[in-house]
Amino acid sequence: MTRAGSLEHVLKEAKAAGISRVISRDPSAKFPAPDGISVIRVSADAGSDTAAWVEITGSKDMDKAVEASKEGHAFVVVQPANWKIIPLENLIADFHRNGKRIYAYMHTKPEMEMAFSILEKGVDGIVAPAESLTAAAEVLSRLKKEELYSLSAAKITRVVDVGTGERACIDTASQLSLGEGLLIGSRASFFFLVHSETVPSEYIPTREFRVNAGAIHSYVLGEGEKTRYLAELKAADKVLTVDKDGESRQVVIGRVKIERRPLIMIEAEAGGDKGTVMLQNAETIRLVRPDGSPVSVTEIRPGDEILVHVTHNKARHFGGEVDEYILER
C-alpha cells in the first residue's frame, strides 16, 4: 500500500481491512531510481523492513529483479511499465524456485486476481495505491476466506424414475479430480455432491472437465452460499467445485450442454432435513459416499448414504439467503 496522507492514517485504514503492511517512500526522491531499482521502507506489525522496487520495461529489468532478490530484502516489488502475463510468469517461477518473495504493483481488482492466479501459485503479495484499498481488501477477503463446505452423511429415502426432461452438463475449463464435483439440489437448503466424470468407464472415455449436474431447474451452490439455476449458467461464468473433504475452488465454465435425457429423482434425509436432486439416469452419473468414493445413481438404493451440504432451511432471493418463510416440495 503506497503512501497517501500520513503513514499512520493509511496503516490504520489498511489494518481495518485486514492488510498489515504499508509501504512508505520519500515523495521527493526520484522514483524509480536511475538504475530501475529503489529501496523502500515497509512498515508492519512486526516492525519495519526493506523491499526492493523494480520497474520492468524489458528483459534486462527482469534480471535486475532477480538480482535484487539476493540482497536480503523482505521481498521484491515488480512494476511492469506495460503489464504482460509472460514476464510475470517467468519472474514468479524464478522467485519460487529460489525461495524468494515477489510482490506486484497493481491498481485494479482484475489485475490483483490475475497476479494471484498465475502458474497456480501467483505472487506472494500485492502492492496497491491507497485509492485502491477497497479493491485490495475485497481480493484479500476472498483469498483469506476459508472456503470449506460442511458435508454430512444423508440416508437415501426414495429413488424415483421420473421420465424425460432437460439436464445440464457443466463443462469447465479446468481438470477436475476424483472426489470433486458440484453441490446441486432441488431445494435451496439441501445440496448433493454430484461427482465429476472422472471415473473410468468401459463404454465411454472420462471427461475430467465435466459435471453432469442434473435437471435445469436445479440450484448449484456457489461462493458465499449463493445459488444459481443450472438453466441460467453460460460460458465464462464461474462456479465452485467442492471435493469430498468440503474444500472448494473457483473454476470457469467453458460450455453448458442442455439435452433431453431420462431422469431419476433421489431423495435423502440428514438430521431431520430432507432434499431431492434430479439427475440423468445413467451409469456415469455419480454421487459421493461418506467415505469419499463415487457411487453411480443407477446403483443407489433406499438406505444407502451419500454426502450432502445442508444450510438449514434458508430461503433464497436472486440466489442470496433471506430470512423469510419458504416451503419447497
Q: Say whether both 116 and 212 belong to one domain.
A: no
Q: The pTM is what?
A: 0.65
pLDDT, greater one: 27 or 132: 132
Q: Which domain holds residue 59?
A: 7-144
* Interval 163-172: pLDDT, tens: 999 999 999 9
The answer to whether residue 66 sits within a structural domain is yes
pLDDT of residue 14: 57
Average pLDDT, the chain: 82
Q: What is the mean pLDDT of residues 87-109?
A: 87
Residue 25: pLDDT above 60? Answer: no
pLDDT of residue 146: 47
Residue 312: pLDDT above 90? Answer: no
Q: Name the domain boundary from 128, 144, 160.
A: 144
Q: Name the domain boundary from 144, 161, 185.
A: 144
Q: Say whether both 71 and 166 belong to one domain.
A: no
The answer to whether residue 292 sits within a structural domain is yes
Task: Name the band, by pLDDT with cuts 50, 70 and 90, for residue 258.
Answer: very high
> Which among 317, 324, 182, 152 has a CA at the least distance from the CA of 243?
182
Q: How many domains does the chain have?
A: 2
For residue 275, give the CATH number of its domain.
2.170.16
pLDDT of residue 309: 96
pLDDT of residue 121: 67
Residue 32: pLDDT above 60? Answer: no
Q: Name the domain boundary from 85, 117, 144.
A: 144
Q: Say whether both 14 and 122 belong to one domain.
A: yes
φ/ψ of residue 78, rounded to 5: -110, 135
189 CB-side CA count, 13 A: 19
Q: Say whether both 112 and 191 belong to one domain.
A: no
Q: How far apart, in whole angstroms, are the C-alpha atoms of residue 63 and residue 61?
A: 5
Residue 63: pLDDT above 50? Answer: yes
* Interval 121-165: pLDDT, tens: 688 888 888 777 777 777 776 665 546 789 999 999 999 999 999
pLDDT of residue 23: 59
Burial per residue of 86-119, b for 16 or more beta-carbon CB atoms within 10 angstroms, e otherwise = ebbeebbebbbeeebbbbbbbeebebbbbbbebe
DSSP characters for 77-117?
EEEESS--HHHHHHHHHHHHHTT--EEEE--SHHHHHHHHH
The answer to whether residue 1 sits within a structural domain is no
Residue 186: pLDDT above 90? Answer: yes
The set of cell numbers assigned to 37 is 531499482
pLDDT of residue 244: 94
Q: Say whether both 140 and 253 belong to one domain.
A: no
Contact status, residue 63 vs residue 41, Cβ threshold 8 Å:
no
Which stretch of 26-35, 70-79, 113-122 has the lowest confidence by average pLDDT?
26-35
pLDDT, greater one: 321 or 86: 86
* Interval 204-228: pLDDT, tens: 889 999 999 999 999 998 877 789 9
* pLDDT above 90 coverage of the chain, percent: 43
Q: Say whether both 121 and 230 belong to one domain.
A: no
How crowded is residue 282: how many other Cβ atoms within 10 Å of its Cβ?
A: 18
